[in-house]
Each structure stands twice: as C-alpha cells, then as structure tokens.
Amino acid sequence: MHLFFALLVGPGLAAASSILFQGGTIIAFDDQTESLQVIRGGSVLVTDDRIASVSGPEDRISVGNDTEVVGITGKILAPGQINTHLHTWQTVFKTLGSNTSLVDYFGRYGEFAAAGLLSADDVYISQLAGVLESVNGGVTKILDHAHHTWSNETSEAGLQASVDSGVRVYWGYTFHNITATTPAFLVQDQIANFEDLASNPAFKGSPTEICIAYDGFGPTPNVAEVQAIMGLAEEFNIPVIQTHSVEGPWPLQNTPEALERLNLLNSSIPFVLSHGSFLSARGHQLLRTHNHYISITPESEFHYGHTQPTAHLASDQATLGVDTHFTFSADMLSQTRLWLQTVRATLYKAVLDRWQIHMHSPMSVNQAFLMSTRHGGLALRRNDLGIIAPGAKADLAVTVDGKWLKKGGKLLAEGYYEGRIQNRLIQTSPVLYEVGESWINGLSVGEVLTVDSKRGEGNGYGGLFLAVNGTQ
C-alpha cells in the first residue's frame, strides 16, 4: 500500500460481521421472475460478504449482539451500480477534455499519447481518485480498461491503487506496444510484467481482480500475439477480457465477427466489447449465441461522436459504462437515464417519421436499471453481482463485500473532503500534445459546424478551466 493512501484510509474500511439495514425501500431482485422487486419498509441482513436475507415489513428478523443495525427509514437501498467500461487512471485530465473529439482524444489523452507523461505516483493517485469518485456516485464494481501499462512501475501503481481502494475493480492489464517511452515497453515485456503481477500474493485476497484488455483482435490480428495473450488468460483463470469495438469508419474494430474468425467466442472466459458502436445484426447474433456482452457508454459515445446507432437493438446482451470520466463524471445513474431517454427518442422517431403517433413507452425504467446493475453481473457470468437477493455479494450502494466504503453520505477515505487527494492530483500536470491534421482509418478529418449561442460577435464557445475545490 502506498504510504499516501495509508494515511488517508485509516480504520475506515473495517466492517462488523453483520449489518442490518432496516425499514427502508429495498430495490431487490426476484430470482424466480428475473425482475426487480421493490419492498417498502423492508430490511436487508448482511453477514460477512453476502446478503443473508431480504425481508418485508411483516417479517421478524433475529440478529446477534454483534450486528450493526442501520435505520434506513425514508431511504432507498439499491445494489451498487456496475460500470462495465472505464479508464480510471485518466482522472488527472479532469476539466481538460470537456470539448474534445475522438480524434483529439487519440492525439492528446489516449494510451499512446499519454505514455511517458505520468510517473508511477501520478498514475496511483489518479487511479485512486477515479475509483473514489465512482464510489461516491454509487458504483461498487468497475471494469477498468487500464491502459496505463507503459512500464512495470506504472502498471503496478494502477493495480495497487485499485486494491487499496477496497472496491471491486476488474483491473484490465492492457497489452499494447508502447514505443514513445525509453526504453520501449512492448507486448513481450508486458507479458512478463503481467505474469509477475498475476502471481504476486500481495494482490490477492481483495475484491480487485486482474483481468485482460486488448485491442488487437481485428481486423488484421497478430495471431501469435493473440494466442500468447489468450494463453495467459487461461493460465491465470482471468475473469473477463475487455476490448474496444467501434465499427463504421473507426479503427477499433474488435467485433464479434473478428472474435469468431479467431475461434475465441467459444472461450469459457467472457468478453465485454466496449461501445459496440455500429454493431451488426450478425454481431448481435454471435453475442447472443455465445453469451458475450457489449458495454454501451452513451455520454462518451455522444460526446466524442462515434455515436450509437444500433446498440438499442441488442439490449439483451448489453450493459452500461462511463468510459472517460475525465470528460464528464463517473456516476452511472446519469448514464442510465441518458441511455433510457436516447432509446425512447430513437424508437419514437421511427413512428413519427411514418406520420403515426406512439401509444406506449418503448423502454421501461426497470429495463434501464437492470442494464446498469444485473446485466453487469451477467456479463461477468456472475449471478451474485448487481442484485439484492439472498446469497448475493453484499455490494450495496455503500458497501463492497459487506465493508463500508461510504457512510452517512460521506466516503470513509480520510482526508478526501479536505482535498488532500485532489490537491495531490492537481500537482500532476502532464504536457499535452497539440493535434494537427489527422487521418483515421484512411479517412481525412472533416470540420463539423460549430454552434453559435451568442448574439452579435463571437459564438460563446469559450475555453477550458482547470479547477479543484472551487479554485482555478
């Protein structure tokens, strides 16, 4: 554990052996009907790292003297949200990317552009701050596409921050050839580093698990490299593999069809395809047949412009995520609401374009809520995640494995509200590259119409502000 975080956390992450949440509105899950069950005046008993019981207002509950009883009358107890796509280390770029495009992102903030700009300590504090921001918004599980793997030191730093946080982070070691650093850090170097980290007992026994992220499955894969990485996944029993899948004119075409060509869809290891923009009907059928999922990140996809034209047709194999929280925020309820209304607007428009009037809402709040909770567990092939039900993991909106992470409306990381983490983060000031004329996938970069929101001269576009704790 880094000394800096040890000074922050103190004793806050300890837990009683049992916690009884009593008298609130419980958003539970019914295994029989596979649907939400809202219990008013209900209670949830947590024992160790599991939910022991979910009770209604008429049920009698017997607890031991060592049980912590928490009254939640007038409150809602929900499962922790599951963010199935995040680059957590990028917190350091907060407020700098509010107006960026995807081309700008690749050239200034992405995994290759940022290589060599951040030290291991910078990565640690940036990763930690991103995880804590997520917890503060009710997220208890993160699939982290951790492409800060530019050296042995930066790789370990992000993993260590995830472990130290106490959150359930699926930390995805990213394999990619990094040539901007001296010395270069290539896939063969990363394989050795991954083996060291995955074998290190210091990283075991916490909710955080090491997994794999890789973007070289298509369209022209290095087959030997793919085989080596999949061999690692099988050797170390990796829980999930993450990959970016953005079709259309974009270069990240790790599609279901590409995975099929490599005979990987039959793997016992689940794949989560981030974004799934321009997903084809054939791709959806492959996901359904082999039970793999996409992670829709609506705010990111609209912010950067890779859009999301077809994913609403694959809701049965879809989860929700955030992607680059430095450009907006890390909470999942915002993503859930945005996707719900986007799907509604899309399907309403299809009816209105036929000069007809729609009679019902095409997507329910239940469906949207399950996409950001239950579906995340299903994507990991974990029936005990993303729900409140007997036997499920005690990952509630404020706990992970039955241990408090947030209590009384505040995170238990000491010093967080005094700005100690934020002030340390602001000291990290990477020099960003300017992005000139670019080509993506053989296509030139075109100009988009800029909105004019100001009467008279100028357009009101404005600049960017780097702010921490109300200062600029």
Domains of the chain, by residue range, sit at 14-79+387-410, 81-385
Q: Would you state the pLDDT for residue 15?
A: 53
470 confidence band (pLDDT: 50, 70, 90): very low
Q: Would you state the pLDDT for residue 311?
A: 95
Give Cα 423 distance to the centre of its chain: 24
Mean pLDDT on 197-202: 96
Q: Is the pLDDT reported for residue 471 higher than 90?
A: no
Q: Distance (Å, rounded) from C-alpha 80 to C-alpha 394?
A: 9
110 exposure class (CB count in 10 Å sphere: 0-12, 13-18, 19+): middle
Q: Would you state the pLDDT for residue 104?
A: 86
Q: For the domain bounded by 14-79+387-410, which CATH number is listed?
A: 2.30.40.10
Q: pLDDT: is 16 or 175 the higher one? A: 175
Q: Is the pLDDT reported for residue 222 higher than 90?
A: yes
Q: Would you state the pLDDT for residue 206?
A: 95
34-45: burial string, b at 16+ Cβ within 10 Å, e else: eebbebeebbbb
Residue 259 near residue 217 (C-beta atoms within 8 A): yes
Q: Is the pLDDT reported for residue 119 higher than 50?
A: yes
Token pair 């031991």 is found at 64
447 exposure class (CB count in 10 Å sphere: 0-12, 13-18, 19+): exposed
Question: Model-level pTM?
Answer: 0.91
Q: Which amino acid is at 150?
A: W
- pLDDT tens, 160-178? 999 999 999 999 999 999 9
* CATH of region 81-385, choose from 3.40.50.9100, 3.40.50.1860, 3.20.20.140, 3.40.50.20: 3.20.20.140
Closest residue by Cα to residue 202 from 231, 235, 233, 159:
159
Q: Would you state the pLDDT for residue 251?
A: 77
Q: What percent of the chain has pLDDT over 70?
A: 88
